[in-house]
Structure 1
Amino acid sequence: MTVLSRRVEPAVTRPATSRRLEAWLAQLEAAHPMGIDLGLDRVSEVGRRMGLLGITLARRVITVAGTNGKGSTVAMLEALARAHGLSTASYTSPHLLRYNERLRLNGVEASDNMLIAGFEAVEAARLDGSPVSLSYFEVGTLAALWAIAGSQPDLAILEVGLGGRLDAVNIIDADVAVITTIARDHAEYLGDDLDGIGREKAGIFRAGRPAVLGSRDLPESVRATAAELGTTIVAIGDAFHWQEAGPSVWCWQGGGCAAAGLSLDDLPDPGLPLDNAATALQALTLADVALDVVATRRALADVRLPGRMQWLGQWCLDVGHNPHAAAYLAGRLHAMPCKGRTWILLGMLGDKDADGVIGALAAVADAWVTVTLEGVRARSAAELAEHVQASGAAVAFQAASPEAGAEWLSGRLAPEDRVLVCGSFFTVGAILAWMQA
Structure 2
Amino acid sequence: MCDAALPISLDAWLARLEAAHPVGIELGLERVAEVARRMGLLEVPIAGRVITVAGTNGKGSTVAMLEALARAHGLSTAAYTSPHLLRYNERLRLDGKEADDATLIDGFAAVERARLAGEPVSLTYFEVGTLGALHAIARQPPDLAILEVGLGGRLDAVNVIDPDVAVVTTVARDHAAFLGDDLEGIGREKAGILRTGRPAVLGSTTLPGSVRAVAGELGARVVALGEAFRRQGDGEGWRWAGQGGAGESLTLAGLPDPGLPLDNAATALQALALTGLPLDPDACHRALARVELPGRMQWLGRWCLDVGHNPHAAAYLAERLLARPCTGRTIGLLGMLGDKDADGVIAALAPAVDAWVPVGLAGERARTADDLAEHLVARGEAIWHRAASPAEGAAWLAARLAPEDRVLVCGSFFTVGEVLAWWQSSAQTEAGETAIEGAP
Note the C-alpha offset of 1:380: 0.2
* Superposed counterparts of 1:169-184, under 5 Å: 169-184=158-173
> 1:346-388 CA distances to partner (integer Å, 9 max, x unpaired)?
0000000000000000101101000010000000000000001
> 1:180-205 CA distances to partner (integer Å, 9 max, x unpaired)?
00000000000011110011000000
Q: Which residue of 2 aligns with 1:398?
A: 386
Note the C-alpha offset of 1:257: 4.9
Note the C-alpha offset of 1:19: 7.6
Q: Which residue of 2 aligns with 1:217?
A: 206
Note the C-alpha offset of 1:289: 1.1
Q: Which residue identity is paired with 2:41? A: L
**Whole-Å Cα distance in 1 between the matches of residues 7 and 99 of structure 2?**
12
**Whole-Å Cα distance in 2 between the matches of residues 158 and 54 of structure 1?**
18
Q: Which residue of 2 aligns with 1:110?
A: 99
Q: Secondary structure at the match of 1:139?
A: helix
**Whole-Å Cα distance in 2 between the matches of residues 248 and 298 of structure 1?**
13
Q: Is the 2:77–2:145 Cα contact (8 Å) retained in structure 1? A: yes
Q: Secondary structure at the match of 1:242?
A: strand
Q: Secondary structure at the match of 1:399?
A: coil
Q: Which residue of 2 aligns with 1:318?
A: 306
Note the C-alpha offset of 1:423: 0.1
> 1:305-331 CA distances to partner (integer Å, 9 max, x unpaired)?
000000000000000000000000000
Q: Is the 1:18–1:112 Cα contact (8 Å) retained in structure 2? A: no
> 1:278-313 CA distances to partner (integer Å, 9 max, x unpaired)?
000000010111101101000000000000000000
**Whole-Å Cα distance in 2 between the matches of residues 422 and 41 of structure 1?**
36
Note the C-alpha offset of 1:20: 1.1
Matched, 1:191 2:180: yes
Q: Which residue of 1 aligns with 2:20?
A: 31
Q: Which residue identity is paired with 1:168? A: A
Q: Is the 1:74–1:159 Cα contact (8 Å) retained in structure 2? A: yes
**Whole-Å Cα distance in 2 between the matches of residues 176 and 138 of structure 1?**
22
**Would you identify which runs of 4 or more consecutive aligned residues in structure 1 move more than 2 Å?**
255-261
Q: Which residue of 2 aligns with 1:346?
A: 334
Q: Secondary structure at the match of 1:89?
A: strand
Q: Which residue of 1 aligns with 2:282?
A: 294
Matched, 1:359 2:335: no
Matched, 1:145 2:134: yes
Q: Is the 2:7–2:13 Cα contact (8 Å) retained in structure 1? A: no
**Whole-Å Cα distance in 1 between the matches of residues 141 and 349 of structure 2?**
43
**Whole-Å Cα distance in 1 between the matches of residues 96 and 8 of structure 2?**
24
Q: Which residue of 2 aligns with 1:427?
A: 415
Q: Which residue identity is paired with 1:144? A: A
Q: Which residue of 1 aligns with 2:231?
A: 242
Q: Which residue identity is paired with 2:364? A: V
Q: Is the 1:259–1:282 Cα contact (8 Å) retained in structure 2? A: no
Aligned-pair Cα RMSD in Å: 1.2
| CA shift in 2, pair 1:431/1:258, >3 Å | farther
Q: Which residue identity is paired with 1:282? A: Q
Note the C-alpha offset of 1:260: 3.1
Matched, 1:130 2:123: no
Q: Is the 2:236–2:254 Cα contact (8 Å) retained in structure 1? A: no
Q: Which residue identity is paired with 1:374? A: A
> 1:236-285 CA distances to partner (integer Å, 9 max, x unpaired)?
0001011117x522010013654632110110000000000000000001
Q: Which residue identity is paired with 1:164? A: G
**Whole-Å Cα distance in 2 between the matches of residues 274 and 22 of structure 1?**
37
**Whole-Å Cα distance in 1 between the matches of residues 44 and 171 of structure 2?**
30
Q: Secondary structure at the match of 1:253?
A: strand
Q: Is the 1:163–1:201 Cα contact (8 Å) retained in structure 2? A: yes
Matched, 1:21 2:37: no
Q: Which residue identity is paired with 2:298? A: Q
**Whole-Å Cα distance in 1 between the matches of residues 393 and 247 of structure 2?**
49
Q: Which residue identity is paired with 2:144? A: L
Identity fraction in percent:
73
Q: Which residue of 2 aligns with 1:12?
A: none
| Bigger Cα displacement from structure 2, 177-186 vs 19-28 | 19-28
Matched, 1:374 2:362: yes
Q: Which residue of 1 aligns with 2:108?
A: 119
Q: Is the 1:346–1:423 Cα contact (8 Å) retained in structure 2? A: yes
Q: Secondary structure at the match of 1:374?
A: coil
Q: Which residue of 1 aligns with 2:266?
A: 278
Q: Which residue of 1 aligns with 2:436?
A: none
Q: Is the 1:239–1:256 Cα contact (8 Å) retained in structure 2? A: no
> 1:124-182 CA distances to partner (integer Å, 9 max, x unpaired)?
00110111000000000000000000111000000000000000000000000000000
* Superposed counterparts of 1:43-82, under 5 Å: 43-82=32-71
TM-score by length of structure 1 reads 0.95
**Whole-Å Cα distance in 1 between the matches of residues 242 and 65 of structure 2?**
16
Q: Secondary structure at the match of 2:201?
A: strand
Q: Which residue of 2 aligns with 1:97?
A: 86
Q: Which residue of 2 aligns with 1:388?
A: 376
Q: Secondary structure at the match of 2:79?
A: strand
Matched, 1:165 2:154: yes
**Whole-Å Cα distance in 2 between the matches of residues 18 and 413 of structure 1?**
46
| Bigger Cα displacement from structure 2, 254-263 vs 86-95 | 254-263
Q: Is the 2:333–2:359 Cα contact (8 Å) retained in structure 1? A: yes
Unaligned runs of 5+ in 1: 1-16
Note the C-alpha offset of 1:18: 11
Q: Secondary structure at the match of 1:389?
A: helix
Q: Which residue of 2 aligns with 1:84?
A: 73
TM-score by length of structure 2 reads 0.94
